[in-house]
């Protein structure tokens, strides 16, 4: 257990080290020189640390935002925050989470090896979060010990394989066929956003072609436009909510100037994220060819959602705002639906909503980005409320999981667990087999289209 905890907590749950190890293995498999191997491995790790640092800057800048929304709208309820609910869960389900995560990663590697769905899920913290969901739901339903670990490991490995496969047809459209996949557990939201964009976005131009008057030509810079938009949102909301809403954050400074600084900090976080993404992609894709050639033939690395941001930076901010609006509207629907009040969490709405905007834009331009991410906002408001019933005592906490896949997987697992241990094993195997078969079918079709397109181009 000590060794297992070390592997899970110090390696598998540390995305920079996990991806660095994968890059190292790939470079060694390619028989690169010592110099190239060390350089490639370190650049991947440093790139992920830069990406993580940028994400932390953004998350920190968004922390007071939720308080301002609650104070300005006079709301009290459950705020979906993955990190908070995971921290609470570790007190009772820490060991189970570690075992499920380790087994799940092994299952992912096996499925990637033996099926056409050759995706290796490398977003370590999301694997950790999903392992926590499974540990909590199974444990709360009375499935414990080895049974909990085996069932949870199978489900985690399955979900880590199928979701990158299901979203990959749209991911290829987003990236122009880049040699990496999306490994982020809000994939259901991205699939829906892309499908909605395809349905409503006919003849709609991309967000990246928004015309800007020469007088305000600086707005053509996506980073500048994003920063200015966030400054305006922060300052307006701060004025509406008042100084009391963020007094614990301001440390005595003027609350309006504090809001201005937070908007600027948000822009800095975006710049850092984009820098880290570029460094990762420059190194991980060539390094991963070694794994694809030697260990898991034709495997693709499934990476975190900010890797999509450089492909449509303007769509990110459109998606964030639209998703937040969807979350606010969904919040007011909770009462009539008889569900717990879910107050929009700024972090999931930015990362999930921004990525949903990129996917909606890829299939339906501006309309797709706005409407698709709006639907995503509704989705990550309603699903967390439905998940609460499966979380046992943790369902009474004032926080919950915020991404769509955590919720639907948790709800499905809760239903499976109700059938008892024998029934849970049978349903887990059957459901996993069906999902893997569907993911394999999708992957085969995507690969066939890619081959035909390449032949036609040639």
Q: What is the pLDDT of residues 106-125, one digit of tens each?
A: 899 999 999 999 999 988 78
Confidence band of 134 (pLDDT split at 50, 70, 90):
very high
pLDDT for 64: 78
Residue 278: HSE in the Cβ half-sphere, 13 Å Cα cutoff: 8
pLDDT for 293: 64
- The pTM score is 0.80
Cα first-last separation, the chain: 54
Q: Residues, the chain, total?
A: 458
Question: Percent of the chain scored above 70 by pLDDT?
Answer: 89
The answer, yes or no, to whether residue 409 has pLDDT greater than 80, is yes
What is the mean pLDDT of the segment spanning 386-415? 87
Question: Percent of the chain scored above 90 by pLDDT?
Answer: 38
pLDDT for 12: 65
pLDDT for 250: 78
φ/ψ bin of 117: left (φ > 0), alpha (ψ from -120 to 50), beta (otherwise)? beta
The answer, yes or no, to whether residue 262 has pLDDT greater than 80, is yes
d(CA 317, CA 358): 9
How high is the mean pLDDT of the chain? 85
- pLDDT tens for 75-106 read 666 778 787 787 778 778 877 887 888 889 88
The answer, yes or no, to whether residue 457 has pLDDT greater than 70, is no
The answer, yes or no, to whether residue 435 has pLDDT greater than 80, is yes
pLDDT for 458: 47
- pLDDT tens for 339-360 read 888 878 778 898 999 999 999 9
Residue 24: HSE in the Cβ half-sphere, 13 Å Cα cutoff: 10
CB atoms near residue 253 (< 10 Å): 10
Residue bearing tokens 């995971």:
86
Nearest CA-CA partner of 376 in 335, 425, 319, 323: 323
């Amino acid at each position: 257990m000590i060794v297992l905890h070390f592997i899970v907590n110090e390696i598998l749950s540390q995305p920079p080290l996990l991806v660095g190890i994968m890059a190292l293995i790939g470079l060694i498999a390619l028989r690169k020189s010592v110099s190239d191997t060390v350089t490639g491995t370190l650049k991947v790790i440093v790139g992920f640390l830069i990406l993580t640092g940028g994400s932390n800057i953004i998350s920190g800048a968004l922390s007071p935002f939720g308080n301002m929304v609650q104070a300005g709208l006079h709301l009290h309820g459950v705020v979906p925050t993955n990190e908070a609910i995971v921290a609470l869960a570790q007190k009772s389900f820490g060991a189970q989470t570690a075992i499920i995560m380790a087994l799940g990663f092994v299952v992912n590697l096996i499925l990637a090896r033996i099926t056409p769905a050759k995706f290796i899920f490398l977003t370590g913290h999301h694997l950790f979060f999903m392992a926590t969901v499974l540990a909590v739901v199974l444990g709360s339903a009375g499935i414990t010990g080895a049974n909990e670990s085996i069932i949870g490991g199978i489900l985690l490995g399955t979900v880590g394989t199928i979701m990158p496969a299901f979203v990959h047809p749209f991911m290829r459209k987003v990236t122009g066929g880049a040699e990496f996949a999306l490994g982020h557990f809000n994939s259901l939201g991205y699939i829906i956003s892309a499908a909605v964009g395809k349905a409503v976005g006919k003849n709609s131009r991309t967000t990246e072609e928004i015309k800007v008057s020469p007088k305000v030509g600086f707005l053509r810079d996506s980073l500048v436009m994003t920063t200015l938009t966030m400054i305006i949102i922060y300052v307006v909301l701060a004025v509406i909510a008042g100084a009391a809403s963020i007094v614990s954050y301001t440390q005595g400074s003027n609350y309006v100037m504090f809001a201005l600084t937070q908007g600027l900090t948000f822009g800095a976080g975006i710049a850092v994220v984009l820098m880290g993404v570029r460094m990762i992609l420059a190194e991980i894709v060539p390094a991963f060819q070694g794994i694809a050639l030697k260990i898991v033939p034709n495997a693709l690395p499934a990476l975190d959602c900010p890797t999509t941001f450089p492909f449509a930076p303007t769509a990110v901010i459109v998606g964030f705002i639209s998703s937040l609006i969807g979350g606010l509207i969904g919040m007011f629907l909770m009462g009539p639906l008889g569900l717990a009040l879910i107050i929009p969490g700024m972090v999931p709405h930015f990362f999930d909503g921004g990525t949903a905007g990129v996917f909606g834009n890829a299939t339906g331009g501006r309309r797709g980005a706005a409407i698709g991410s709006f639907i995503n906002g509704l989705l990550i408001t309603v699903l967390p409320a439905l998940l609460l019933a499966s979380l046992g005592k943790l369902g009474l906490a004032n926080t919950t999981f915020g991404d769509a896949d955590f919720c639907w997987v948790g709800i499905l697992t809760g239903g499976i667990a109700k059938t008892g241990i024998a029934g849970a094993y049978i349903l887990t195997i059957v459901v996993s087999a069906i999902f893997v078969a569907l993911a394999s079918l999708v992957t085969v079709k995507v690969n066939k289209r890619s081959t035909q397109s390449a032949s036609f181009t040639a």
